A and B are shown apart, each in its own frame.
Chain A
Amino acid sequence: MGEEKTLDIKKDILWRVYLVHFGLCLFGLAIIVQVFRIQYIQGSYWHAKAETATKEMRNIEAKRGNIYSEDGSLMAISVPVYEVRMDVNAAALTNEVWNKNIDSLSLCLANLFNDKTKLQYLNELNHARKSGERYYAIKKGVKYDKIKELKDFPLFRMGRFKGGLIIPQTMERDKPCSQLAERTIGYPPANDRVAVGIEGSFDNDLKGVSGKRLEQKISGNLWKPVYDENVVEPRDGNDITTTIDINIQDVAERALKSNLEKNMAEYGCVVVMEVATGEVKAIANLKRNSKNEYDESLNYAISERTEPGSTFKLISMMAALDDGLIKLNDKVNTEHGYTVYFKDTMTDSHKEGFGIITAQDAFEVSSNVGVSKLITAAYGKNKQAFIDKIYSMKVNQNDSLQIKGAMPPDIKSTTDRRWSGISLPWMSIGYELRMTPLQTLTFYNAVANNGKMMKPYFVKEVKDKGKVVKSYSPTIISDSICSAATIKKARAMLEGVVERGTAKNLRDSSYKIAGKTGTAQRSMGKSGYKLNSKANYQASFCGYFPADNPKYSCIAVVYSPSTSVYYGASVAGPIFKEITDKIYSSKLEMHKEQQTNPIAQTDRVPLVSGGLQKDIETVCSNIGVNTLVHNNGFNWVQGNKQSNSVNLTEKHIAFGLIPNVVGMGMRDAVYILENAGLIVRVRGKGSVIKQSLEAGQSVSRGKEIVLDLS
């Protein structure tokens, strides 16, 4: 290559480069000029556009988590409800398109909602279009199944931009189990209402994190999303599994209701606790409303402190027993059913009195005179010792519950301003102090649990899409509230109450109940214990069962029974009994005397239908059933049940042909069919009994196949 030539080439290249550079400069200039144009020539247009297009990042509510009972029944769920709106002046809705479809759309709407005639819909839509509506409300509060149908309607099936269909979604809180544990489940916070119950206390877990999306203001205070996508996806709230057993809850609530109705009571509550863990299995609170019906309005069980009355005698007796100040067979003179402390007369409900009886008898027949005399004799010289003992048995414990709104017990000490000379005898029988039903139950539960006091709890797990993110385990308040000997004596007394004492009506031959009745006159604030010269009563029964190996403890409280029957045993006792009967009959593990049924043993081999060979072998080996395979390495197999094994034969899935999935489980069937390119729709539950396309036909991709499951 000569130098001359190189120079020529170089010159040739250089002018071209300059030319290109010139071109780029022009390009650059064009850009700058265009920026200038947009800013100064079209400027006012764009500023005006920026003004009018009020777009805003707006929150999208996250889906609130569900609340489940212990066994997975839904107790509270958020269900979406939709508004059906239409941009009747969408750009794509030309007159031609509109006129062609509006008639049939109106007909479809009329048929779907059945609220207006076709002509009404037609007129309204046409009117809305004429008046320039862009966000016309067709129907509010529409459920999802209807929305699904609606999306196939003429115009609507063309989507948001072309067909003008806009379906804003809102959430509604639904309680599938209606009233069950309503107050304990509670309400989520809302503008006009304070959150209560689990919904309130676990709001942070349930509510999720709201998302964001760009929305455009249309008219008034209405906003429509600009894109179909969200800028920030909302994070759904976590689900909560409660300790509530839906069956026990159901029976507890029904028992409470029927007894309240029978006694014309004002209100009442029931709590069932699992002895070993403190899990609250059922909690019901019912109050008579203005319509004379009972519904849940306040959580009395955890928030209403009242004088417990006779159920407290257990605590007094155990204090004295544990301190070694009395023995069960100590004699006490119950006189003639009344005794006088200073000027105050204390009476027994049994008007004639019991004469001289043992301490245990005094407890079992619930003699106020007897118990108060025993306690006054034991602690008369050192009253503070009684209070200290009660405190040491954790009666005064004030651990916070999972649900907010609980009140601490109010048990005064001798240093308290309200303490008087007659405080000790009155406190010993459950007056001059206040406790909630749940606190009383917590103590009885500890007795049933051999002295180990468990903290009652309502929420077991917090789950995020099925994955446990938080779990709550049983919490021990005290490993031992008193000596084992005292517990033994206490349980003997409680059993005695049912065997011989005030709760004889609850005796049952198939299982043993232990518990204590309580009938307290209610102090009505300033007017004292009598209002309008009529006594107000609080009837209660607290106990546990089966007495020799306690599984559940329970308290039932009925307030202000207005009829003449107001004793704990006859008002609250039956509620307790109804619940324990139901639990006993449904929990087989309590029927330890019965032999296990040998019949179940004969048919060990389960029916195995088709599926993935590996899966079936794993299942069979886990339940100890042999599998016979003729040739290994099959993917899909068909099972045949033999006398004591399962035969697996290959299930041939030919490429390009519709496979036979009858007998398979849904997951396997859908997997195979979708792999074959079909769109699968299923009806029902269980395994496949029918497929809509016959096996062996050639597959046309994207075709729909319907599976019926049984």
Chain B
Amino acid sequence: MKKLFTYTKGDWVIWIVVILLSLFSLLSVYSSTGTLAYRMQGGNTEYYLFKHSAIVFIGFLIIFGTHLIPYTYYSRIAQISLFIAAPMLFFTLIFGSHINEASRWITLPVINLTFQTSDFAKLALILFVARSLSKKQENIKDFKSAFLPIIAPVLLITLLILPANLSTAAVLFTTCMFIMFIGRVNVKYILLLMATGLICLSIFIGIAMVSNYNGRIGTWKARIENFIHPNPDDDSNYQADQAQIAIANGKLLGKGPGNSIQRNFLPHAYSDYIYAIVTEEYGLIGASTIVILYLILFYRTIRIIRKSPRAFATLVAVGCSFSLVFQAMINMAVAVHIFPVTGQPLPFISMGGTSIWFSSIGLGIILSVSRDLEIEQKLEPTPQLANA
């Protein structure tokens, strides 16, 4: 045990943030999987608790493992991962198994593990963008030598994700734009691209609105229509209503752990809408705590990189951190109904194995940067470079 502590390095506040989020996760998932347990496991409610605990535990092992690897390795890993991710996405699009009519999942042979390829691609792309940005800092404002080579893979990956998972593609694209902004890419180009992206999206949504196709596009269409013109009697607006009832039930202090009522009525209470259940059980206090924990995570990342002399360290840490926090914000925004329904899980809290594990890798990388800097400072106490 003692040995484990000596090996555990990196920013201790971040460790505590993750531990707190995981505790919220275990409690809320156990509380909200009751219906699912009846549906799939014949009423064995502990099934999902054990399964989720195991996933969270493995998540910690992953964080621990990834944080031990010197962050500089991730530059190379980023490159290789991207080459794997692109064909994998393509393969998933064509052969993936359908859950809720979207082909997002593939089952890895041999280990027989189903996972959402976009989770992997997301991480690979963020690492890759951080790497490219840091390599091109010299002439970062240039269009041809800097902007194009970075934006090309971003577009490729997001377009591959888009048909099966519009919201993930949009969130990932936006995340990349922010990282590029932080990485000093010419704002002019970013805005131009955002504008193009928005126009394309509008056209796409426009087509969806007039088309009668009822597959995935039908789902998007319904969700967007519902957000813009909520129809109080329509059953398909049900999810959002139930989530808001859950939030309203919570009041200041919440109903207390395990006392959610809405978990019985809220579909996917354990994933997309877990924030509503957290609010119902822990109130405004609990809801604010979650938001603040994520903001602390981002703040601590800034603390780490302030000391960093290297652009890659800065960008990879900020990139991973931003991706996690931004996704969290989107998920919570959906639950409180300031965003239309998307299928983004709440990092470290929603149930779902691979999502938690990929989040864990991202966090491990942040901690790896933190750990390496700690070691560096101990070895050569050079004067700090920038003390902003």
Contact = CB atoms under 8 A, between A and B. Distances in A.
Nearest to A224: B235
Contacts of A43: 248
Interface in A20-34: 20-21, 24-25, 27-28, 30-32, 34
A84 interface: no
Contacts of A226: 235, 238
A231 interface: yes
Nearest to A9: B137
B39 to A, nearest CB: 5
Contacts of B288: 32, 35
Among B252, B336, B337, chain A packs the most CB atoms within 10 A around the CB of B336
B385 A9 contact: no
A13 B183 contact: yes
A212 B291 CA distance: 36
A532 interface: no
A13 B265 contact: no
A42 interface: yes
B120 interface: no
Contact of A9 (B39, B298, B311, B333): B311
Nearest to A57: B264
B182 A17 contact: yes
A6 B309 contact: yes
A31 B284 contact: no
A32 B287 contact: yes
Given A20-B181, A31-B291, A161-B235, A39 B284 contact: yes
A39 B251 contact: yes
A13 B248 contact: no
Contacts of A476: none
Interface string B226-252: 000001011110100100110111111
A49 B388 CA distance: 52
Contacts of B292: 28
A639 B309 CA distance: 81
B235 A21 contact: no
B277 to A, nearest CB: 13
Contacts of B284: 32, 35-36, 39
Given A31-B329, A50-B245, A91 B291 contact: no
Query: How big is chain B's contact interface, by range?
Result: 35 or more
A91 B234 contact: yes
B306 interface: yes
B244 A46 contact: yes
B305 interface: yes
B388 A11 contact: yes
Contact of B386 (A7, A20, A32, A36): A7
B295 interface: yes
A42 B336 CA distance: 12
Contacts of A16: 181-182, 184
A55 interface: yes
A539 B47 CA distance: 64
A159 to B, nearest CB: 11
Contacts of B35: 57, 231
Among B238, B248, B299, B385, chain A packs the most CB atoms within 10 A around the CB of B248
A165 B279 CA distance: 37
Contacts of B264: 57
Given A24-B298, A36-B284, A11 B184 contact: no
Interface in A204-230: 212, 214, 226-227
B380 interface: no
A31 B333 contact: yes
Nearest to B294: A28
A24 B325 contact: yes
B326 A50 contact: no
A344 interface: no
B220 interface: no
B332 interface: yes
Interface in B283-327: 284, 287-288, 291-292, 294-295, 298-299, 302, 305-306, 309, 311, 314-315, 318, 322, 325-326
Main secondary structure of the interface of A (DSSP, over half): helix
Interface string A225-242: 011000110000000000
Contacts of B234: 91, 161
Query: How big is chain A's contact interface, by range?
Result: 35 or more
B15 interface: no
Contacts of A293: none
B314 to A, nearest CB: 6
A27 B333 contact: yes
B291 A32 contact: yes
A579 B249 CA distance: 73
Given A49-B241, A161-B234, A226-B238, A35 B287 contact: yes
B336 A25 contact: no
A663 B293 CA distance: 72
A696 B249 CA distance: 66
A12 interface: yes
B336 A34 contact: yes
Contact of A25 (B245, B252, B295): B295
A47 interface: yes
A38 B250 CA distance: 10
A227 B329 contact: no
A365 to B, nearest CB: 66
B138 interface: yes
A43 B292 CA distance: 23
Among A9, A21, A24, A232, chain B packs the most CB atoms within 10 A around the CB of A24
Contact of B385 (A10, A30, A31): A10
A20 B248 CA distance: 30
A14 interface: yes
B7 interface: no
B178 interface: yes
B319 to A, nearest CB: 11
Nearest to A160: B235
B338 interface: yes
Nearest to B338: A34
A190 interface: no
A271 B38 CA distance: 46
A1 interface: yes
A129 to B, nearest CB: 15
A263 to B, nearest CB: 56
A472 to B, nearest CB: 27
A18 interface: yes
Nearest to A14: B388
Given A6-B309, A232-B39, A50 B249 contact: yes
Nearest to B251: A39
A611 B306 CA distance: 75
Nearest to A235: B42
B107 to A, nearest CB: 23
Given A9-B137, A13-B183, A31 B338 contact: yes
A20 B322 contact: yes
Nearest to B140: A9
B305 to A, nearest CB: 7
Q: Return the 7 tightest CB-CB contacts between A and B, nearest first.
A: A46-B248, A34-B336, A28-B291, A10-B386, A50-B245, A16-B182, A38-B247
16 contacts: A9-B137, A11-B386, A12-B184, A13-B182, A13-B184, A14-B386, A20-B182, A20-B322, A21-B298, A21-B302, A27-B333, A32-B287, A35-B284, A38-B248, A39-B251, A50-B248
Interface of A: 1, 3, 6-7, 9-14, 16-18, 20-21, 24-25, 27-28, 30-32, 34-36, 38-39, 42-43, 46-47, 49-50, 55, 57, 91, 161, 212, 214, 226-227, 231-232
Given A14-B302, A32-B284, A50-B249, 19 more contacts: A1-B138, A10-B314, A13-B183, A13-B184, A16-B181, A17-B314, A20-B178, A20-B181, A20-B322, A24-B295, A27-B329, A28-B291, A31-B336, A35-B250, A46-B248, A57-B35, A212-B39, A226-B235, A232-B39
Interface of B: 35, 38-39, 137-138, 178, 181-184, 231, 233-236, 238, 241, 244-245, 247-252, 261, 264-265, 279, 284, 287-288, 291-292, 294-295, 298-299, 302, 305-306, 309, 311, 314-315, 318, 322, 325-326, 329, 332-333, 336-338, 385-386, 388
